[in-house]
């Protein structure tokens, strides 16, 4: 692999991350929020149209977040070129099975890291500085998926920096984990009315976080802090006990709120 300067990596990854954001978030937004997407909307639920001002705020924060994550990526690649990370490029070095095992390990560890840091960000003394920007979107859209306050972006990027110094990871595994993070975050911010109403009752909806689960967090800050899995919310009592019931009540029109 050709070695480049820290500045080169920083600019290159800033462009890549920004392009990925506009491609994935923008494409998903156009697909699910265009007039042609009405067949995907659950019309039994009240639908909120996001304001352009809210979208602009999300995009601004996302551009700043792209800069933070680009610096983290530049640090990782510089560390790799110096031989001080545990990244490797030959799949057979740890065996093909390890690619899948390490991928799963990254998701589990990142989910735990995200849960505890996210919950910490909601402490009254920290929320204003670390997480308030993300919650300006009471009704999130795909544009909200990467809208971190700069300090929050730094904290979340530290996981990616740290994991490559601790766990042996092939570049394919790291890219797969980052791709999963991007797509999952976008899906989680689709809004409550964009997936089948049966999802919260399906076994996938019980153990994996989706838009209905996460949209409740944007209205009720004391619940649903996870990224991928509902495990930590259930274990530590931050799963809304009436999650499925409230969703059903909204589905039948009995309530308008969460």
Q: Pull the structure tokens for residue 197.
A: 């109403």
Please indicate, yes or no, if residue 33 is contained in any of the structural domains. no
Please indicate, yes or no, if residue 258 is contained in any of the structural domains. no
Q: Are 70 and 17 in contact (CB under 8 A)?
A: yes
Quick count: other Cβ atoms within 10 Å of Cβ 163? 22
Quick count: other Cβ atoms within 10 Å of Cβ 198? 9
- Cα distances (Å, whole numbers) of residue 180 to 51, 174, 187: 27, 10, 10
Q: What is the pLDDT of residue 255?
A: 46
Q: What is the pLDDT of residue 124?
A: 95
Arithmetic mean of pLDDT, 21-42: 79
Quick count: other Cβ atoms within 10 Å of Cβ 105? 16
Q: How far apart are CA 250 and CA 258, in angstroms?
A: 8
Query: Phi and psi for 242 in degrees, rounded to 5?
Result: -105, 20
The number of folded domains in the chain is 1
Q: Return the residue matching tokens 């989910």.
A: 111
Q: How far apart are CA 61 and CA 90, in angstroms?
A: 36
Residues 6+ apart with CB under 8 A from 208: 228, 229, 230
Please indicate, yes or no, if residue 38 is contained in any of the structural domains. no
Q: What is the pLDDT of residue 138?
A: 78
Write the pLDDT tens digit of every residue in 132-188: 999 988 788 999 999 999 999 999 999 999 999 999 999 999 999 999 999 999 999
Q: Are 143 and 58 in contact (CB under 8 A)?
A: yes
- Cα distances (Å, whole numbers) of residue 246 to 188, 241, 256: 18, 9, 10
Write the pLDDT tens digit of every residue in 70-120: 999 999 999 999 999 999 999 999 999 999 999 999 999 999 999 999 999
Q: What is the pLDDT of residue 201?
A: 56
Domain that holds residue 230: 4-26+49-250
Residue 254 pLDDT more than 60? no
Please indicate, yes or no, if residue 37 is contained in any of the structural domains. no
Q: What is the pLDDT of residue 211?
A: 85
With a pLDDT cut of 90, the percent of the chain lying above it is 68
Query: Phi and psi for 79 in degrees, rounded to 5?
Result: -60, -40
Q: What is the pLDDT of residue 160?
A: 97
Q: What is the DSSP string of 24-68?
A: HHHHHHHHHHSGGGGGGS-TTS---PPPHHHHHHHHHHHHHHHHH
H-assigned helices in 92-219: 96-121, 124-130, 150-166, 171-188, 203-207, 211-217
With a pLDDT cut of 70, the percent of the chain lying above it is 83
Please indicate, yes or no, if residue 39 is contained in any of the structural domains. no
Q: What is the pLDDT of residue 38?
A: 60
Q: What is the pLDDT of residue 152?
A: 98
131 band by pLDDT with thresholds 50, 70 and 90: very high
Q: How far is C-alpha 43 from the geometric centre of its chain's CA atoms? A: 26
Degrees (nearest 5) of the Cα angle 132, 136, 140? 120
C-alpha closest to that of 172 among 103, 228, 80, 107: 103
Please indicate, yes or no, if residue 40 is contained in any of the structural domains. no
Q: What is the pLDDT of residue 169?
A: 98
Please indicate, yes or no, if residue 257 is contained in any of the structural domains. no
Mean pLDDT check: name the lowest of 185-199, 221-235, 243-257. 243-257
Please indicate, yes or no, if residue 135 is contained in any of the structural domains. yes
């Amino acid at each position: 692999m050709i070695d480049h300067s820290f500045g080169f990596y920083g600019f290159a990854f800033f462009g890549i991350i920004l392009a990925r954001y506009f491609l994935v978030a923008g494409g998903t937004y156009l697909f699910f929020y265009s007039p042609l997407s009405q067949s995907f909307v659950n019309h039994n639920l009240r639908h909120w149209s996001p304001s352009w001002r809210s979208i602009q705020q999300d995009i601004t924060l996302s551009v700043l977040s792209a800069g933070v994550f680009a610096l983290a990526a530049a640090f990782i690649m510089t560390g790799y070129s110096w031989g001080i990370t545990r990244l490797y490029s030959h799949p057979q070095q740890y065996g093909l099975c390890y690619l899948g095992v390490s991928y799963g390990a990254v998701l589990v560890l990142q989910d735990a890291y995200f849960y505890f840091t996210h919950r910490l960000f909601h402490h009254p003394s920290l929320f204003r500085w670390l997480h308030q920007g993300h919650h300006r979107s009471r009704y999130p859209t795909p544009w909200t998926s990467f809208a971190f306050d700069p300090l929050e972006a730094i904290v979340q990027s530290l996981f990616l920096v740290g994991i490559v110094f601790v766990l042996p990871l092939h570049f394919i595994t790291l890219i797969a984990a980052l791709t999963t993070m991007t797509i999952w975050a976008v899906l989680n911010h689709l809004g409550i009315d964009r997936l089948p109403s049966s999802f919260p009752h399906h076994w996938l909806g019980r153990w994996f976080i989706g838009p209905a689960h996460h949209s409740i967090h944007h209205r009720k800050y004391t619940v649903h802090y996870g990224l991928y899995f509902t495990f930590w919310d259930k274990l530590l009592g931050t799963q809304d006990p009436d999650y499925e019931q409230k969703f059903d009540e909204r589905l039948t029109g009995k309530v308008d709120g969460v």
